[in-house]
Amino acid sequence: MIRYLARRVAVMPLLLLGTASMVFVVSRATSGNPLVSIVGARNLNNPVIVAAAKQRWGLDRSLPVQYGRFMINLLRGDLGTSFSTRRPVLRDLWDRLPATLELTIAALVLGSAVGILLGVLAARHRNRALDHGARAVGLLGSSLPAFWLGMLLLYLLYSRLGWVQGPNRLNARVRPPTRLTGFFTVDSLLHGQWSLLWQACMHLVLPATVLAWGVVGIVSRLVRASLLEELSSEYVRVARAMGLRERTVVATHALRNALLPTITIVAFAFAYLITNAVLVEKVFSWPGVGSYAVEAARQLDYPAVAGVTLLGGLAFLLTNLVSDIAYTMADPRIQLS
């Protein structure tokens, strides 16, 4: 197992190099003129300003040179400077990452919990109303455009009914808790600021639910299928023959095995979450990486776009690696062979 993991880790730099190169190719294979966003359309006719800007952002060099610089800077942890915020991209991402992580992790936890619950119920009531209902819930979740659903729910539950708080992570002009983790819920909890914690949760619950819904279908389908498989297995029959309660048979015996493959799907679900987080963040004015990416893309701010894309690829590679490691650790059969 250790050798397998070592090999997995050893390939990582290669994959990272590939990912970075892809980002470079994509962001510089440009036909749209990035100078527009730097100097403004009006100054494009002014050769002095254009030349200065080109020199300042390194656009006057040949592509191979730009690529070399891009890679060297990456190694130094320098993602370049955003055209629009005029701040290092890495700093921008660092500031905004906790908001996105808080949202996606909350959605992942929520979606997995509901998905596992629905999957178990569907398997226990196979081909009955509950099973069909669970399938419909899951299917709907992956068929509703998250940004559209978020908008309608925001209108309904916030504007009309007032059940939840509106966009952004906190109400306007509220000071966020002192940053420890950057997760407002966790930070306010650690500082004992209960009203702030409540407020942060009420802001978080709607976007997290919208995001989680898509995960529910992925998880519940898998849990249902693998639980059904485990429930028809021999050791479950033995456990029943030994007189174990059905609840114990399902919860301790079968579910434990059935959840193993779920670990691997979580990485897939996470990729789905990142994708939709970009859109949901825009709807909820969530100050995370996603809304940053949208802004950057609209302004043709390609250092920022490149930074976000790289982060997305990195996140995917990492979650895959982590879920592989988690799987090998959770399954005793793999651990020792």
Number of H helices, E strands in the chain: 16, 0
245 binds another protein (CB under 8 A): yes
**CA 145/CA 148 separation, integer angstroms:** 5
Show contacts with another protein in window 28-47 (CB under 8 A): 28-32
Q: Which of 186, 317, 321, 326 binds another protein (CB under 8 A)?
A: 317
Classify the phi-psi angles of 58: left when phi > 0, otherwise alpha if psi is within -120 to 50, otherwise beta: left
From the list 83-91, 94-102, 204-212, 239-247, the region that binds another protein by CB under 8 A is 239-247
Q: Which of 109, 152, 180, 251 binds another protein (CB under 8 A)?
A: 152
What three-state secondary structure class fits 180?
A: coil
248 binds another protein (CB under 8 A): yes
Least distance in Å: CB of 226 to another protein?
A: 13
Q: Spell out, one character per residue from 111 to 150, where the chain touches another protein: x when CB under 8 A holds, - when not.
A: ----------------x----x------xx-xxxx-xxx-
From the list 96-104, 107-115, 182-190, 244-252, the region that binds another protein by CB under 8 A is 244-252
21-41 burial, b if ≥16 CB within 10 A, otherwise e?
eebbeebeeeeeebbebbbee
DSSP 8-class letter at 81? B
Q: Spell out, one character per residue from 158 to 177, where the chain touches another protein: x when CB under 8 A holds, - when not.
A: -x------------------
Dihedral sign computed on CA atoms, order 46, 52, 56, 59: positive
Show contacts with another protein in window 8-27 (CB under 8 A): 14-15, 18-19, 22-23, 26-27
107 binds another protein (CB under 8 A): no
User: Concatenated DSSP letters for 252-320?
Assistant: IIIHHHHTHHHHHHHHHHHHHHHHHHHHHHHHTT--SHHHHHHHHHHTT-HHHHHHHHHHHHHHHHHHH
300 binds another protein (CB under 8 A): yes
332 binds another protein (CB under 8 A): yes
